[in-house]
Amino acid sequence: MIQPMEHLWAPWRMEFIKGPKPAGCFFCEAAAADPADDPAHLVLARTNLSLAILNRYPYNNGHLMVAPTAHLANLEDLPPAAAGDLTTLTQRSLRVLRRVLSPQGFNLGINAGKIAGAGVADHVHQHVVPRWDADTNFMPVVAETKVLNEHLTKSYQELRAGFDRLT
């Protein structure tokens, strides 16, 4: 028996899709910024080779991205040290999200190239999306509204504190 296809509806992301795009790369801008400005860039954690940054247009509460500091489009172009650091920071991100938000699962993924859905195709990054049982409902479908349980600023503060505790 063929199972019906499930859909993840995210109409609130149209602001990102249709809206004006910044001139530069926000990953590079965040990586180059003074760490004192991390809250303005939603940087949750940084290393010399990568950073974890909260998504401004999340699929779910706690949706973050892990990106190398090097501006490279393809995962296979990352030097081994940067690829390893990206994985290590992703693991740390999962630990923090588990402790702070207690999700029941995660979607992890890299959209490689614009045709694959990358909103920022020229800077490789991995999405980490926390998931909970029944975290989708009728609202996105019927009302074209996604209910996020927490304001982005509050999510940032809680997750940043979690990263600071888990060094």
Q: What positions carry a catalytic annotation? A: 125
Q: What value, to the nearest 5°, has the Cα angle with vertex 19 and ends 16 and 23?
A: 95
Residues 141 and 70: their CA atoms lie apart, in Å, by: 38
Closest by CA position to 43, among listed 91, 78, 93: 93
Do the beta carbons of residue 31 and residue 86 sit within 8 Å?
Answer: no
Residues 90 and 108: their CA atoms lie apart, in Å, by: 9
Residues 58 and 103: their CA atoms lie apart, in Å, by: 15
